[in-house]
Structure formats: structure tokens, C-alpha cells
Structure 1
Amino acid sequence: MKNTLPSSVYPFPPRREPPVANHDRETLIRYLETAPLDEVDIAHPLWWENDVEGVFLKRLRDEAPVHFNAVNAERHRGFWSVTRWADIMAVDTNHHVYSSDAHLGGITLFDMDPDFIMPMFIAMDPPKHDVQRKAVNPIVSGQNLAGFEALIRERTQEVLDGLPRGEVFDWVDRVSIELTSRMLATLFDFPQEHRRKLTYWSDVSTSDPELPGSPSKEERQGILLGMLQEFSLLWNERVNSEPGNDLVSMLAHNPATRDMPPMEFMGNLVLLIVGGNDTTRNSITGGVHFLNKNPGEYAKLRANHGLVENMVSEIIRFQTPLAHMRRTALEDTILGGQHIHKGDKVVMWYISANRDERAIENPDAFLIDRARARQHMSFGFGIHRCVGNRLAELQLKILWEEILLRFDNIEVVEEPERVPSAFVRGYKKLMVRIPA
């Protein structure tokens, strides 16, 4: 059931493109600093591709922390932007009022296609959420993480030792995607020689069909159905074998998930692939970018390798790889002094919470020795907190330990190309050079 809001509640203006002819970063910033709040669609990909969304999110935090976005509502039917830490916590910890259910639209700003709904446990409410999440929890148990550590280190060493010296190359492709795709293939026991399919499926599943170069809605559905077909073959192998220590086997053998309909299996695949890909992949890239932007912090790291673990949390906070999560109001309620109607979309901007000076001291500074660095919202909070957060931290910790053993510097030679998305806050390309 697709939840539709009556126009009498929210009169939506016609579609509006940003009236900014020159898309250089300074012009975009000036516009976001001065435009009326009700004229800016924070979901527009232009802001995210140019890394200027923070300007407007700060205005919302200061001027309208719970704010209804009606611009371009024919794309997303309007939504409440929640930008302060405390208000986001109030939403994220109250699944009785704020639902994640896929059949109400799911967990991203844009509703799931009502003709192609992919239920997944992050887009479910208790009790079904709890039992499905529990089915895959063993993959990130303490024992499993300890078992993964040597493998992650060995692969990290291999990838880093294969990088060129004195030549410009794309860090995203050679390191970030390579390491995360290898780990994803291990988690699913998917053929390593085909591991880049996992990255491709992750990118397709989070793509915007309206953007140039993206698959159309029909193409996207066809690609994901092809993914389902490949994984169904693996499912059939695993369900008829002894339980294994991989995600497909865990889903196939657990009573809560072994009878999932195909679209639910697909949904959980998408969730686990995106969750295992985007957080780690974009934090791997972000860390190199942030250290280059903050040479004093890079010098601090070289002088004290013991800061790596703390720095990992700061990288994840500063990057905020998934910029938002969304809920749907199950009843009329009040949030931050605003009247939320049943059926409204409520978007928690995690990236804004991570820059909220009411909760984090000096939040716009990248500080690798920040006190209480693990206090961030990048993994969400409450029952939907990221399952794989410890694995992501482990991968980043090992990477930086191994980088520091090999390279005194990784130079960023040009500004990164960013993903034009208000959901995945990521990088397409980061060109770097390791001095010879």
C-alpha cells in the first residue's frame, strides 16, 4: 500500500530547479545561504554532487530544525527534514510512531516502487525485523571478526603493495572498491572472480533513474532480478548443504528467513550488499581526502600511529556514508514543535546530526584525536543500528595500520568526483599519487 498525502494538508508548488546558472561551488554556497528555506529542495542531487549540502542543513538546524520540504514533491511527495541530533534520536528510537515498513515507502527519502517492493529487515518493524536481523547477526560475532582479521590484513597488504609509486591513479577503484568487493564476496561466499558484480548491484540499487547515465526504472528492475537469479542458485546450493558461515547459508537455514518469498530475499540481498559496500568503501576514500585537507592531522597521525582506531571513528562521522534514513508516521504526533500527520515522511539527516554543535563540540573540524569520537550518528541508532559497524571499523583500522607501515604520504591531486545522491554520500573518483 502506497501512502499518499492529501493535497489539502500540504499544497505542493510546481517542480523547481535551482535558479543557479553557474554551478561553481561558491555560487551554489551563496544561493544556499540566502534562498528562502521553502524554495530549496535539499534532496536535489546538485548540492550533494558539489559537497555544499551542509550549508543548507546548518540553516535548517538553526532556523527550522523540523522543516517540511514541499519543493519537487512530485518526485518525493514532500517530507519533513529533521536535522538536530536530539530530534533525530527521538525518531530513531520510537518505532511505535515512526515506521520503517517497506509497504509504507521504506527507509529512503524516495518511496519504494509500489509495483516492485523489496521488503528487507531494515525496512521492517518489530517483531519481524528482530528475527530477520538475528538470522544474520552471527556473521559479525566477535569470533567471526577475530577470524576475519588475518584475511582482511593479508588482502589489504596485497592491494597496497600492488599500488604504483609516483603515478596518478584512482584510489576509489584501486583500493576502496577492491577491498570492499573482496570482503563482500567473502561474506556471501560469492565467487571472488565475479566480486565486482556486487559493487555494480549496490550502485544500481541506490541509483536515481532520473539522473543522466543511470539505469531507467525498468532497467534497474531487470538488473536486480538478474542478481536475484544468481543468488537463488547459491541459495539452492546452500539450503541443501550443511549450514555454512556465510550470509546466504545463514538466511537459507534460519527458520525466520528460510521461507522468504523471492522479493524479500532480493530486498535483504540489497540491504546486505549496500550495507557492506557503501559505508566502508566511501569511508576508505574519505579518510585519504580528509587527511589531505587537514595536513596538521596527517602529521599528527604520522607522529602517533596509536591514533588510528580513534581516527577511524572520526572518518566515519565526518564522511557519514549514508546521509539519511527515513520513517513514516503511523499516527498524528508532534516533533520539535511541528505537527506531523499520519502518513508523513520523516527524514532523519544523519549527516546533519554529525555536525550539530548542540551534541558534538566543534563538529565541523576533522580531529583524529577527538574525545568520544565514537559518538556519531553514521550507523544510526536504536533497533536499526548498522549490523556491520564493527566489521567496517575493523577494515578501516587495518587499512590505516598498513598504510602507515608503507607510505609516508598519499597525495590527493584533484578534487574528488562525488555521487549525486542525497542518500549515498560517496565518491566516484579520487585521483591520488604516492610519492616514489
Structure 2
Amino acid sequence: MAGGDLTDAGARAMATPLDRINVAQPALFQADAHWAYFERLRRDAPVHYCPEHEFGPYWSITRYDDIMAVDTNHQVFSSESSLGGITIAGSAGLEEPLRMFISMDPPKHDVQRKAVAPIVSPTNLAVMAPIIRERAAACLDGLPIGEAFDWVDRVSVELTTQMLATLFDFPFEERRKLTRWSDVSTAIPGNGLIDTVEQKTAELGACFAYFTTLWNQRVNAPPTGDLVSMLAHAPATRNMDPREYHGNVILLIVGGNDTTRNTISGSILALNQNPDQYQKLIDNPSLIPSMVSETIRWQTPLAHMRRTATEDVEFQGKSIKAGDKVVMWYVSGNRDDEVIDRPNDYIIDRERPRTHISFGFGIHRCVGIRLAELQLKIIWEEILKRFDNIEVVGEPKRVYSSFVKGYETLPVQIAG
């Protein structure tokens, strides 16, 4: 369902009493049936209280400017893991909360983030660009022609996992472990990927044990340019608690995996759903950077980020109490027609394509923005060199999550 279409899901969204609307249902996102609910909230209750949810009551912030106001006010709206962290679920599904710099407030957030920031410096991106291009070319050259295959597995997962292995200097032949750990860390037990909290804890424990070994190797060796070495040697992080190290590992795995991976898949789907835009891109490859930004907005690979109010606050006429859960729905802000012209349309040559909220604002704005954009730009440059058309030949299977907005599978075929 495209944004705002009055299909059955749209009719239900408009008919549901406001106080009964609960947009944080993974099934809505898996069915791509969430759009009309957010349209309703933006129109009728842009700061909306949901009194009943499996993880407790929460406020929804659905308009672009309101999301920005919350995202840039970390004094009142905290990310601290001890208060619940950055997802609506908080630490549910984990035996113990993970600490990571995205779920910290200043000053600790700032010094830990600074420890890993050099890996996405302009100088380092220039070094990585030819590696990304070489791998993208090899991956695309190995794709079957004239037969259906899963784009998510063969391209989106493979290329992002190769990049992650490089960033961590992780054993390349074992790189798919990173994909699995990323998926497990955000999965809801009992919905296909993992069965129980205990299984989730065990698999993440294996991840932490692996990365503890890497830490011990790197901390006793001269500093290098990979993420583990940066954390092991930076003054702000080399003495951090093991639980913080493990949390930062998960943050960097998920941040380096889900956003780029699901935008690569989303770009194929969006261009297929909008063949006029696909033709526009083929006719004018210089539109690739603009197309990448538009796809990041259109896809919104992480649907929300959560904060916790640290004090009673009046916000847009609503009384938010200290301790309340406040959810910023990036997926809704990116469809706000008060800020973005024709927001439900996919337009690759928008006048201001980087006007989107997919990576957040303020101190928590995604540290890897430029790397994600670079990977997507290079991948599409290499695609257009090789293929006139990549056709989606079946329905995508979407992730069962109200946090990760992505795809498990996307069947495609390249014409012979």
C-alpha cells in the first residue's frame, strides 16, 4: 500500500478511534499497512498517546518538525539505556540491557562516538571507495542472467557484509556471522528468526565472545584503522566496561548493516514501482546521488527511534510526564507534506533530496551517513554499467519489526 491509499488498511486506519491506534505493531510494517495510520496521526493527533502496548504505553511523534525538536533536545528527551534506550522495546528480549554510545547522553556519548568517527572521515572514505567498487563489480558480475534470484541475499546482504568485515577487520570467510548477529540483535523472539529470549541471548553471547577475542588481539598490538582497534586504543574507550564494548559492537554491526542493506533493496523496489523514474535514471546516470538520497527518504530503513522524558514537559499542547516513552517515527516524518512536497511520490530529481529524517538530527545523527551514501552511489554506478533493467518478479517479504524497516527477500530477474 502506498502512503495514504484508502485500501482496506487505509479505511481501518481512518475508522479506528484515535485512542485505540497503536502504530507500533510489527505486523503492520510487515504487511506495508502502516502508512494510513501515520497519515491519520499527522493530521489528527501529531503527538499521540497509546495507552496499551506489549512494551508499555508510549507517545508517538509523527510530524517532521516535531521529530526534529525532540531529536535535538537530549536534555529533556534522553537516550540513556538505563531509562530504556533507543527502541520502543527497550531491553525486552534481552536478559540485560546493552550499553552503546547511541543509548548514552553527553558527555559519555560524545567521547565514545569520537573514538570511531575517523573510520568515516573523508580521507578514509577515499581509501575505501575503490575497494567498494571492486567488490560491487565482482558481486554484480556473478549474478545469473535470465533467471530469478533473491536480490537481498545475493547483493544487499553480500555487499554490506563485505563492507562490515572490512570495517572490523573481521575474518572475511566468516563474514556472514555479522549478518546473522545483526538480524538476531533486532529480532523479536518467536517470529521466525529466533524462537526464545534464551536463544537470542546465546547467539549474542557467541558474538560477544568472538569480539572479545578480537579485542584481546588488537589491544596488545599496535593501533590500526579498524573499528575494534580504534575502540581498544582510544583513551575514551580502551577501559570501558565489557558490556559497553559489546553494546557498541552491536550498534556498529546493525548501523553498518541494516541501513545500507535495506536501502539497496529498497532502491530496486522503488524504481520498479516507478518505471518512469527508473527510465529517468538510465537516461541520466548523473542523478544517482539524488536517487540515493530520495531512496533513503522513501525507504526510511529504521522506522523509529525512542527517547525517555527526563522531566514533565508540555509539548505541542500535550503533557508528557517524566519517565514517559517518546517514539520519533522517522518513517512518518519522511512523509510529512508540510515539509516535503508530494512526500508519497518517489521522485529521483527532487530539488532538495536530502531533506529527510532517516538518519536523525542532533548529536545522535548517524555517524556513517557518508559511507552509506558512498556505497549506494558506487553500487548504482556499477549496476547501470551492466544492466538495462533489473525486474522485480514477486512480492518482497518484509521484516517483522516496527524498528528495522527492511526486506527478508526480494525476487528479481535480469533480462538476458
TM-score range for the pair, normalised by the shorter chain length: over 0.9
- Cα shift at 1:91: 0.4
Q: Is the counterpart of residue 71 in structure 1 residue 49 in structure 2? A: no
Per the alignment, residue 108 of structure 1 pairs with 87
Matched, 1:354 2:343: no
1:149 and 2:129 aligned: yes
Q: Identical aligned pairs, as a percentage?
A: 58
Give the match for residue 420 of structure 1.
Answer: 400
Following the alignment from structure 2 to structure 1, what is the Cα–Cα distance between the partners of residues 26 and 85?
Answer: 20
Superposed, 1:277-288 pairs within 5 Å as: 277-288=257-268
User: What per-residue deviation string (whole Å, max 9, x for no partner) do you get for residues 82-109 of structure 1?
Assistant: 0001111110000010000000010001
- Taking the aligned partners of 1:201 and 1:182, their CA distance within structure 2 comes to 14
1:131 aligns with 2:98: no
1:32 aligns with 2:13: yes
SS in 2 for 1:362: coil
Q: Does 1:319 align with 2:302?
A: no
Map Cα deviations across residues 197-241 of structure 1 (whole Å, 9 max, x no partner). Answer: 000000000011243453311111111111010011110110001
Residue 260 of structure 1: how far off its partner (Å): 1.4
**Match 2:387 to one of 407, 414, 428:** 407
2:30 corresponding residue in structure 1: 49
**Long gaps (5+) in structure 2:** 1-5
AA aligned opposite 2:370: R
Return closer, same or farther for 1:213/1:173 CA change in 2, 3 Å cut-off: closer
Give the equivalent residue in structure 1 for 2:3: none
What is the aligned length? Answer: 410
- 1:140–1:391: 8 Å Cα contact kept in structure 2? yes
Q: Is 2:171 aligned against 1:191?
A: yes
1:230 maps to 210
Counterpart of 1:82 in structure 2 is 61
Kept in 1, the 8 Å contact 2:187–2:193? The answer is no
What amino acid does structure 2 have at the position aligned with 1:291? L
Taking the aligned partners of 1:257 and 1:414, their CA distance within structure 2 comes to 46
Q: Counterparts of 2:220 and 2:34 in 1: how far apart (Å)?
A: 49
Partners of 1:202 and 1:132 lie apart in 2 by: 21
- Matched to 2:298, the amino acid is F
C-alpha RMSD of the superposition = 1.1
| Pairing 1:173–2:153 present | yes
Alpha-carbon displacement from aligned partner over 1:177-197 (angstroms, at most 9, x marks no partner): 000000000000001100000
Equivalent residue for 1:3?
Answer: none
Distance 1:210 1:78, change over 3 A: farther
Q: Give the letter aligned to residue 104 of structure 1.
A: L
Shift of 1:33: 2.7
Contact 2:101 2:112 in 1 (8 A): yes
Distance 1:64 1:77 in 2: 19
Query: Is 1:258 aligned to residue 238 of structure 2?
Result: yes
Aligned twin of 2:346? 366
Cα distance in structure 1, aligned partners of 2:182 and 2:122 = 26
**C-alpha spacing 1:148/1:162, structure 2 compared with 1 (3 Å):** same
5 Å matches for 1:286-301?
286-301=266-281
How far apart are the structure 1 equivalents of 2:292 and 2:31?
24
Distance 1:238 1:373 in 2: 41
Per the alignment, in what secondary structure is the counterpart of residue 314 of structure 2?
strand
- Deviation string 1:136-176 (CA, Å, 9 cap, x unpaired) is 00000011000000000000000000000000000000000
Contact 2:297/2:334 (8 A) holds in 1: yes
Match of 2:145, SS state, is: coil
CA contact (8 A) 1:207 1:215 kept: no
Residue among 228, 249, 256 paired with 1:248: 228
Q: 1:203 aligns with which of 179, 183, 186?
A: 183
Is the Cα–Cα contact under 8 Å of residues 149 and 412 in structure 2 kept in the other structure? yes
Residues in 1 aligned to 2:174 and 2:191: alpha-carbon distance in whole angstroms: 27
Q: Tell me if the contact between 1:40 and 1:71 (Cα under 8 Å) persists in the aligned partners.
A: no
Tell me which amino acid in the other structure corresponds to 1:348.
Answer: M
Q: Secondary structure at the match of 2:286?
A: helix
Any idea what SS the aligned residue of 2:265 has? helix
| Per-residue deviation, residues 312-346 of structure 1 (Å, max 9, x unmatched) | 00000000000000000000001111000000000
2:27 maps to amino acid = L
| Contact 2:95–2:201 (Cα < 8 Å) also in 1 | no
**Over 6 Å off, 4+ runs:** none
- Residue 76 of structure 1 aligns to a residue in which SS? coil
Specify the code of the residue in structure 2 equivalent to 1:153. Answer: R
Matched letter for residue 85 of structure 1: Y
Give the distance between the partners of 1:206 and 1:108, measured in 2 at CA. Answer: 10
1:329–1:340 CA contact under 8 A, matched in 2: yes
